[in-house]
Chain A
Amino acid sequence: MKLTDDERAMIGGEAGPVLQKALTYQLRLAEFFGADHFVPVTNAHFTGDFEVMDSGGLAYVEELAAAGAKVRVPTTRNSTCVDPAAAGQLKQRCTLVDGELRVGPMLRRMGVLTVNTCIGYQTVYTPRLGEHVAWGDTGTVAYANSVLGARTNYEAGPASLFAGITGRTAAYGFHLDEHRRANVVCRVDAPMTDLADWGVLGLLVGKRFRGYWNVPVFEFTRAEPTPDALKHLAASIASYGSMAMFHVAGVTPEADDAVGGREVLERIVLSKKDIEDVYAEQGKDDQVVDLVVFTAPQQSLLEVQQIADLLDGRRVHPDVDVILTTNSMVAKAAAEEGLTNVLSRSGAMLLVGTCWYLMDPAEMRESFGWKRLVTNSAKLANIIRAHGYEPVLRRTAECIDAAVSGKVR
């Protein structure tokens, strides 16, 4: 491992105990993955809320904060487990709310921007092609590598915070050219008519080629993705496949010669039937619905507008709850545009700064008797089984129809 003078000072403790702890941790990762140097990062994105950190994680970060830890590059925070304005209505337990009230201010004291979003790349900071960053949240990582051409590995737990504190991360994985080459070629001969279709694509390819080091290149014959479509693809392929990067021919910045001499595992063609088969597998029709959720990732302003338009003048079924999540920037714009009022009038709830699956959905299931959940997020459908739900994955308009009629049709 080649260390600079600054890095030697950090490891040796001359730069203080926080930097020593942070870089020692990063050095362990570097050794595991065979990195031979650290690379400076311009930005870090920290994932940590009380639901996942629990008291053990909170104590870990409190110790850092008490020792005077400060980030040295701009560091943002991912979605959290609580929207304080809705915690009572959602019957969230006090320990979760109180824990979050300790985590957020502590991070701010360390210089972290508690924007509480998993779509910061749409609303806060958009790294350029080739820029090295250290981002948590798998979907943001897949989006950064794939769509923006920035360079990051999954940086989980304290890893991204330590990267923010030291201003660097180990040079392995997706910081290096060789890991960014495609080894799966996937032609998609389907019209891709809804954001949910892009999540389904992530499901199909993620399950089939699961593995962090696998990188597919997609060739679409009948579709062109929007940024929101790529967001759903990134979130889903990371969720089902633990993948951190993909290319889209003619769209993403490193797609030219994406394979670049790397051995190709397989070339596949996916059809409209493949997409439709997933919907058939992911929940049956003619079932009663308890809950409809638009989350994972948080909704962009355009997604909020689409859902508000679909709900405008309609009323959510009295036995169904509808939840959307977004960040504070989108929520402010949605309120200014009158979209929040449309959602409220219809009976839908817009949560801010959270992603619903982080909010202890198992507890909510018990509190509200929720069981069958309809969503247009393939990622959420994957996650939520662990919390005792029966997910039904459907296109956006079908989700709204289920919300209004009370049944999947």
Chain B
Amino acid sequence: MEFTAKQATGPVVVAPALVTRMPFSARYDLDRTTGVISRNDHELRGESIAGRVLVTRGVQGGVAAGWALLALAARKCGFAGMVFGDTNPVMVQGAVAAGIPVFAGIDPEFFDVVRTGDTVELDPAARLVRIVPAA
């Protein structure tokens, strides 16, 4: 299944999805030394983000992602990519610095279909996100 996005930049990536209903913040949600979700009341508390594509409708806070995405990548425990319904410039600024793809304005139906663990292919140049069928 393919879904279009209004905005995208970065390299092509194929990786497993990590889906959350909670708006994302690098500072509020993560242990940024390990890439593990650490927020007390987060539905994915304890999950590692390493090598996974974050899928969430929105963001909250802070400028931390501007550096954190790069810092996580340098520690080899960062996201493979990010897909948002709506985002702010911080996530884009951080993703560009980290060299990972970032999407915004994805077709809302995507959130109804995608599940944690699904393999997703991100093609920013085409502004396409594809859920790769399980083998």
Contact = CB atoms under 8 A, between A and B. Distances in A.
B119 interface: no
A31 B9 contact: yes
B71 A57 contact: yes
Contacts of B93: 29, 154-159
Given A57-B70, A210-B58, A386-B29, A136 B63 contact: yes
Nearest to B41: A385
A212 interface: yes
B59 interface: yes
B88 A154 contact: yes
Interface string B64-105: 111111111111000000000011111011101100001010
The number of chain B residues touching the other chain, given as a range, is 35 or more
B134 to A, nearest CB: 31
Nearest to B96: A28
A54 interface: yes
Nearest to A24: B96
B20 to A, nearest CB: 14
Interface in A239-273: 239-242, 244
Contact of A156 (B9, B65, B73): B65
A326 interface: no
Nearest to B42: A386
Nearest to A211: B86
Contact of B67 (A153, A157, A239, A244): A157
B21 interface: no
Contacts, number: 146
Contact of B63 (A157, A240, A241, A382): A157
B46 to A, nearest CB: 13
B51 interface: no
A63 to B, nearest CB: 12
A76 to B, nearest CB: 14
B30 interface: yes
Tell me if A's interface is mostly helix, strand, loop or mixed.
Answer: helix
A29 B74 CA distance: 21
A159 B89 contact: yes
Interface in A140-175: 153-159, 173
Contacts of B33: 54
Given A52-B64, A57-B70, A59-B74, A29 B89 contact: yes
Interface in B34-73: 38-41, 58-73
B61 A239 contact: yes
Contacts of A154: 63, 88-90, 93
Contacts of B64: 52, 156
B89 A173 contact: yes
Given A154-B89, A386-B29, A137 B7 contact: no
Nearest to A56: B74
A31 B59 CA distance: 21
A53 interface: yes
Interface in B3-30: 7-9, 23, 25, 27-30
A242 B61 contact: yes
A382 B38 CA distance: 14
Interface in A46-88: 47-48, 52-57, 59-60
A28 B9 contact: yes
29 contacts: A29-B93, A32-B96, A33-B7, A34-B7, A48-B67, A54-B67, A55-B74, A56-B72, A56-B73, A56-B74, A137-B63, A138-B62, A153-B89, A156-B66, A156-B89, A156-B94, A157-B65, A157-B66, A157-B93, A159-B93, A210-B58, A212-B87, A239-B62, A240-B60, A242-B60, A383-B28, A385-B41, A386-B25, A386-B28
Given A60-B70, A242-B88, 8 more contacts: A25-B96, A28-B9, A32-B7, A32-B92, A48-B67, A54-B75, A56-B74, A385-B28
Interface of A: 25, 28-29, 31-34, 47-48, 52-57, 59-60, 136-138, 153-159, 173, 206, 210-213, 238-242, 244, 357, 362, 382-383, 385-388
Those 4 A-B pairs whose CB atoms lie nearest each other, nearest first: A156-B66, A56-B74, A157-B66, A54-B71
